[in-house]
Amino acid sequence: MIHSGSCLCKKVVFEVNGDFDDFFLCHCKWCRKDTGSAHAANLFSSTAKIRWISGEDQVRSYQHKTTQHVKAFCVHCGSALPNLQMDGALLVVPAGSLNTDIPIQPKGHIFLDYKANWDKDMEKIPRYEKLPG
Domains located in the chain, CATH noted: 2-117 (2.170.150.70)
Q: What is the pLDDT of residue 67?
A: 85
Average pLDDT over residues 33-39: 94
pLDDT band at 66 (very low <50, low <70, confident <90, very high): confident
| pLDDT-based confidence at residue 42 (cuts at 50, 70, 90) | very high
The per-residue pLDDT for 50 is: 97
> What is the value of pTM for the model shown?
0.92
SS3 call for 96: helix
Provide the residue type at 35 as one letter.
T
Comparing CA positions, the residue from 58, 61, 48 lying closest to residue 6 is: 58
CB contact at 8 A, 83 and 92: yes
State residue 101's pLDDT score: 96
Cβ–Cβ < 8 Å for 112, 38: no
